[in-house]
Amino acid sequence: MSFVTCLKCKDCSPACEFDKQALYVCDDCFGPLEPSYDYDKIKKELTIDKISKRSKNMWRYKELLPLDNEPTVGLNTGYTPLIKANNLARILGVKNLYIKNDGVNFPSLSFKDRVVAVALSKAVELGYDTVGCASTGNLANSVAAQSAAANLNSFIFIPSNLEEAKILGTSIYGKNVIGVKGSYDDVNRLCTEVIGSNKWGFVNINLRTYYAEGSKTVGYEIIEQLGWKAPKNIVVCMASGSLLTKIYKSVRELVDLGLVDDNNTKIYGAQASGCSPISTAVKNGWESFKPVKPDTIAKSLAIGNPADGINAINLLNDINSYSEDVSDEEIVNAMKLLAETEGIFTETAGGVTLGCTIKMLENGKINKNEDLVLVITGNGLKTQDPLINKIKKPDIINAKLEEFNEIKY
Amino acid sequence: MALVRIPTPLRRLTNEKDEVNSEAKTVIELIDDLDNQFPGMKNKVCEPNGSIRKFINIYINDEDIRFLEGPESTIKQDDTVSIIPAIAGG
């Protein structure tokens, strides 16, 4: 049963409506399309009790996801741990700090498993047998893994200079992997041209309308795991800016459906200084961003021309929120801090999230006395390259007790 | 003569042609020329005030014109110009 009535363009007035198909931009203004839900119907069907009785995966909120039928791909994705981070909270001087750890998502250890589960389930509904993506790495891992499990052909385009672990973690699934010489923005442009001449479902291009909605499940889970309470503050890293806008949307949806009280939740953005078009715009009070040529170790966030940049800037301005950026050194330091305090090895993007959080706590943008949730989007095992020579090496000894005793600990 | 790649949403105006040619020397001229060849094109690509729509990116030989001279950017013989919807990726 579907709760989506049509696709709508938010930018046109009155909103243009389109049939549910593989369409990602408005015919009139090229603006992004969003599924339009029948919230009155959802309100009658969806209760906390009903959700609580379902399996612990992202599909427990399926009424709020844009499928017409039951999901067929990524059935075990989501419901990652929300950790009360008391050690880190003490160091940062924050009263209540939580880590939403999507670095242990299934099957490919990043939040991208959620959006791919939705996009490939939709691709199957729409009858595609070949799917694809333009990726900075995590999406490549997830599309490769989930298309393998779903028996779909796939074409996965990545920048050729990605971290080895992200390339291997894509190629292992035996799909078509194309390394493009250039930045992610080059890859993205190429893929937009590739779909013009092929009948393929690219998860983050022509299926993007559906794909992006999968990110909302991060927000639903945070609220449910907090005991059906909306947090006061959430910090999210930004590449295209989509995750930030969709997590905010998820909070508003649950409030509007009456499933949770309004806590005036604020969401804050985080970027690497070497690729911070959205943060720079927010800091300068611009309505739009200037595209940049990325130069950062946070390769998963290295999008210089962010598709949802304008949406993210508008949202952050509208709710009087903020966005920060951090240097490569601050990213590595934050990765180490999270590992040493909470036992969580996050990828560089997680270092961006924590690094920017520290800055926003220091400059007073985030109130230390309010509940704070950090969304950790990926796993550190995938981005080890920037840590080489930055982490203490093991003491090497022969298997002799006296040699061990000589080491000063 | 420059080659211009047309994105799927605009191909209704070009009789489904995915590539067309133009003698234009700048991006501004190109948009006017495309509108002459395929009436209605300018309305789709530009805001009513004539600026390029915020959800459209234009590339000359793989470089975003925002890194060149924007709408004033020069188009040379044998250049390839791509018109790309901005809402993709990530």
Q: Which domains can be identified in chain B, with CATH numbers?
A: 2-85 (3.10.20.30)
Tell me the Cα Rg of chain A. 21
Is it the case that residue A12 has pLDDT exceeding 90?
A: no
Q: Residue A1: what pLDDT?
A: 67
Distance CA A191, CA A196 (A): 9
Mean pLDDT of B14-35: 97
Mean pLDDT of A11-15: 84
Is it the case that residue A164 has pLDDT exceeding 80?
A: yes
Q: Residue A16: what pLDDT?
A: 86
Q: What percent of chain A is predicted at pLDDT more than 90?
A: 94
pLDDT tens figures, A33-72: 999 999 999 999 999 999 999 999 999 999 999 999 999 9
Contacts of A311 in chain B (CB under 8 A): none
Q: Do B87 and A307 touch (CB under 8 A)?
A: yes
Residues 32-71 (B) with a CB less than 8 A from some CB of A = 44, 53-57, 59, 62, 64, 66-67
| CATH of region A82-108+214-387 | 3.40.50.1100
Distance CA A304, CA A158 (A): 15
Mean pLDDT of A3-15: 90
Mean pLDDT of B9-31: 96
Q: Do A30 and B57 touch (CB under 8 A)?
A: no
β-strand partners of A34: A8
Contact between A239 and A300 (Cβ < 8 Å): yes
The full set of domain ranges for chain A reads 1-45, 82-108+214-387
Contacts of A306 in chain B (CB under 8 A): 90
Q: Residue A196: what pLDDT?
A: 80
Mean pLDDT of A354-359: 98
Share the mean pLDDT of chain B: 95
Report the residue from B9, B59, B67 with minimal CB separation from A30. B9
To the question of pTM greater than 0.90 for the whole model, the response is yes
pLDDT tens figures, A294-333: 999 999 999 999 999 999 999 999 999 999 999 999 999 9
Q: Bigger pLDDT: A2 or B2?
A: B2
Q: Residue A213: what pLDDT?
A: 98
Contact between B72 and B29 (Cβ < 8 Å): no
